[in-house]
Chain A
């Protein structure tokens, strides 16, 4: 870890001000090289600073903002609003979340460990960086995420944990989180504060595909801060779940996961939401698989067709080729489980 300036923000204007342009003359979109970083739970940031992957000159502590709306959970006619400084465990344990959107509660409950869930904020969670070991090990020069244009050590390296969907020729890093899959499946909006004011954006537009610029991971502009997630009411959100498949029973990132919400009418799919995790470069909505299932019965033929559709564009590598079949099996099992859920 390198020395850095620590700034404690007392409120939102204070936090945004700490991100004044002079702190970061490049004015580029946030990347590992950004000169200023927001600190909430710190479970990713501090980890990567210790590894020398992130070297911010200034760290702006925003934890005091949890005394504002950014630290609250609200549920009402407008749906569910989760403040960005709500801790993962708070949201996972919230009654309204558990009963109306089980997929959200489960995605949080199955992530990390109790200690980390107590620390990590929801805003920080969705911005968690990849676990690609070549990204996390600075003794490798060739990582396009860290050193744009340097190549990708993972492409032909040990890539069992990496992505098969949404990858590019420059990066196959997988998005590691769980909660984002729930948000994307539920058509959540993300509330973003910046120097020009607050804006709302579909959560699905937050993460960028790696393409030829994997160092730019989100569409946030410099200094912007996520303040909340807004999830619209979904009466059939009660029939939702998160299935996470991994080698061990807990404390591991997904090899494959599926966030499902299902609107069922006598065994026929009226509507369905599918998001996939562990297999993709960014939170992944399987929209074509959803379209295929609408109006159809939940049977083995349809499930297989939907799964095939969801992984149509998969680009497997040597050690992660199994993720195509595993991802399909996970999706089918999640849909079957959702269909047989007792509400």
Chain B
């Protein structure tokens, strides 16, 4: 039965199968990392620095150790066994680039100690009583601070044609600067680690987006063999990139458990989550466009600036994608890094495109105004299957998304002049913008067992971070084996299962479904006597007959999938054997702009904003998103992904910003009351349209990942709608009411 939450599948779409873990989740029975029962745990509480730059002068733990129940307090003075873990040159994207607990302090909220006690309350009380004295040096907080270092991004960025000549010759010229703020993921599930030793075997329960990465990195951190480490993460209560990599807490908890010979459980506080993991750093952009009167863009320049930590050259460099979204005749791009006394930023949902496409799509709207052209038509004029460097798109349904979205939204009712639409005291604005996300695929492995009774079991170390991977993998297996989805069991979230890539870059559905498809097809080939006959086993009796014919009751297949285009990933360096690397905790992701063809999922966002004439608080009563992304495995989970993402887009447009006290480089609104995100009352009507698209060249499953598509275009669409409502162009996110008060 279809309803709004379970849309009727269109061409190349799977049915709205209910999540396998739905009942567990709604009844509270799904066990997250810190829910896992362990025997007689001790409880840990972190102590974090109150300065951003300097040195620990002295540590006085007398009062803290006197708290009844305290077992031990760990600081840099008694944790020297922990090894340095290497992080990728040219951007580790992980706080692991700053691993020390002292004496050097490199950012606000750096872990300087950890209390372990018999109870959580005692550990917290002792943490409050631990006294750290510092020699403070004046820190640099960000872009406008004194004392920052500068470096340029070493990645090869798109440059083609003579932008200067074409700009000078252009009939219409446009240039503007944009900015995006610091943001933190704030998954509802906090950063937790539980470590249990059994002789020399370590089990780590920790919410993770990469089971085998965590396993290998923990081993390196402790100087033990990866085979001694078992990582478990059955469910993850939100990750968004924050749980993709090793952070310093994990080694510390594991070491404490070994020293105390007792399981240790850490649940870091919400404010600590702002500084012990990664975040989205602030960015700035300058865009220069030269266009013809017909809107055709001849010259496109996009220069970006990003903040990172002192030691790490992490960058997102979304010019890679902004320079290719339209058929520009020439492009010039560059990215500069500003190194400040901050924790290292890292992946956060749609890392490159959220800031860079916001800038591009705001500029497109401004250009449309300058040309007196409908903004959708400007996109149409520049829609092209070829980018400025000559690369071809594998498939591209951008204008289909615009056309379906515009019709559903009622774009034709829009009158072009700013401030021309209103309802009483409320000004109304309509805005639109494009969404784009590179289609990634990675080497992956899986084991499938198919039984004569028609039941199948799939094992792979995939990550149920809320995306529905357990369900879509079951759907793929059911389809290839020709059995009902209820007969497929999927086991994941555990390093004892075959590895799959990090659940990042929206590759998980594509990678996991591709390898499971390969394993299932191998089983069916055996069942069908080596003949590549019809896929699917048919009736229950049919399945049993085939097993009987082979004289076995079960068939098991372990498969390794390597994408045809598996070439070296510039982030991780040379990759010779992607499967071996994967077992070693290094994923190989290909796709996007790096292959022979440009592989991207696309979409169009439409929003209506309402702004009262005088008080100027901004509300978004209506939004529509239309997305085309190859095969949709499950219309229910896909819609849910898009919906959450679009709401996040509202958040990044209007609400989210981590505030930094410039004087001391510290985050001030490090809690969910002051770090604003939309609440239910902010979201009134939200419609997701999935536009059918087929592109089997991207990967065997034909899937373009969607996890990070829906939040890309929303911010610019809101900004454009705010301009349409008020005539005020805000070029710095978030758009808060003070920016609209004249």
Contacts and interface: CB of A to CB of B under 8 A. Distances in A.
Interface residues of B, number: 33
A5 interface: no
A281 interface: no
A37 B679 CA distance: 32
B737 A2 contact: no
A3 B124 CA distance: 11
Contact of B614 (A134, A249, A333): A333
B668 interface: yes
A169 B655 CA distance: 30
A245 B617 contact: yes
B36 interface: no
A252 B617 CA distance: 13
Residue in A3, A133, A138, A160 with the greatest tally of chain B CB atoms within 10 Å: A133
Contact of B679 (A158, A249, A326): A249
B681 A250 contact: yes
Interface string A49-90: 010100000000000000000000000000000000000000
Contact of A255 (B612, B673, B674, B737): B737
Interface in A243-283: 245-253, 255-256
A139 interface: yes
Contact of B676 (A247, A256, A333): A247
A1 interface: yes
Nearest to A320: B738
Interface in A295-343: 322, 325-326, 329-330, 332-333
Contacts of A157: 661, 663, 668
B736 interface: yes
A329 B668 contact: no
A158 B615 contact: no
A105 B303 CA distance: 52
B682 interface: yes
Contacts of A325: 741
B682 A248 contact: yes
Contacts of B673: 131, 252-253
Contact of A248 (B50, B660, B676): B676
B619 interface: yes
Contacts of B679: 248-251
B687 to A, nearest CB: 19
A73 to B, nearest CB: 26
A242 to B, nearest CB: 14
A329 B681 contact: no
Residue in A249, A250, A322 with the greatest tally of chain B CB atoms within 10 Å: A249
B244 to A, nearest CB: 28
Contact of B616 (A138, A156, A252, A329): A329
B412 interface: no
A161 interface: yes
B154 to A, nearest CB: 34
A133 B674 contact: yes
B619 A249 contact: yes
Interface string B85-128: 00000000000000000000000000000000000010011001
Interface residues of A, number: 35
A245 B615 contact: yes
A246 B615 contact: no
A339 to B, nearest CB: 13
B680 interface: yes
B624 to A, nearest CB: 20
Contacts of B612: 333
A2 B128 contact: yes
A332 B617 contact: no
A329 B674 contact: no
Interface in B393-434: 425
A1 B124 contact: yes
B678 interface: yes
A161 B674 contact: yes
Contacts of A3: 125
A138 B127 CA distance: 12
Contacts of B674: 131, 133, 161
Given A247-B736, A325-B741, A329-B615, A158 B680 contact: no
B667 to A, nearest CB: 9
Q: Is the interface of A mostly helix, strand, loop or mixed?
A: loop
B669 interface: yes
Given A1-B121, A158-B668, A332-B614, A247 B737 contact: yes
B659 interface: yes
Contacts of A138: 128
B661 A326 contact: no
B625 to A, nearest CB: 20
Contacts of A248: 654-655, 676, 678-679, 681-682
A326 B736 contact: no
Contacts of B619: 249
A326 B673 CA distance: 21
A71 to B, nearest CB: 28
Interface in B566-610: none
Contacts of B682: 248-250
A161 B614 CA distance: 19
A134 B664 CA distance: 13
Nearest to B122: A3
Nearest to B659: A158
A7 B128 CA distance: 25
A73 B619 CA distance: 36
Given A158-B659, A250-B680, A322-B738, A133 B669 contact: yes
Residue in A137, A247, A253 with the greatest tally of chain B CB atoms within 10 Å: A247
Contact of B125 (A2, A131, A329, A333): A2
A154 to B, nearest CB: 9
Given A325-B741, A326-B738, A329-B615, A252 B668 contact: no
Interface in B491-506: none
Contact of B668 (A133, A322, A332): A133
Contact of B615 (A137, A253, A333): A333
Contacts of B425: 333
A67 B70 CA distance: 41
A83 B425 CA distance: 38
B583 to A, nearest CB: 43
A133 to B, nearest CB: 5
Residue in B121, B125, B617, B736 with the greatest tally of chain A CB atoms within 10 Å: B617
Interface in B659-704: 659-661, 663, 668-669, 673-674, 676, 678-682
Contacts of B659: 158, 160
B110 to A, nearest CB: 13
A205 to B, nearest CB: 29
A38 to B, nearest CB: 22
A329 B741 contact: yes
Interface string A95-126: 00000000000000000000000000000000
Interface in B640-665: 654-655, 659-661, 663
A151 to B, nearest CB: 13
Contacts of B125: 1-3
A3 B117 CA distance: 15
Contacts of B654: 247-248
B124 A326 contact: no
B112 to A, nearest CB: 12
Contacts of A139: 50
20 contacts: A2-B128, A3-B125, A50-B124, A137-B271, A138-B128, A139-B50, A140-B50, A158-B668, A158-B669, A161-B674, A248-B654, A248-B679, A249-B619, A249-B679, A255-B737, A326-B737, A326-B738, A329-B741, A332-B614, A333-B425
Given A158-B669, A248-B676, 12 more contacts: A1-B125, A3-B125, A133-B668, A156-B663, A158-B659, A249-B682, A250-B680, A322-B741, A326-B615, A326-B737, A329-B741, A330-B615
Shortest 10 CB-CB contacts between residues of A and residues of B = A322-B738, A139-B50, A250-B681, A249-B681, A329-B614, A158-B668, A52-B128, A329-B615, A158-B659, A249-B682
Interface of A: 1-3, 50, 52, 131, 133-134, 137-140, 156-158, 160-161, 245-253, 255-256, 322, 325-326, 329-330, 332-333
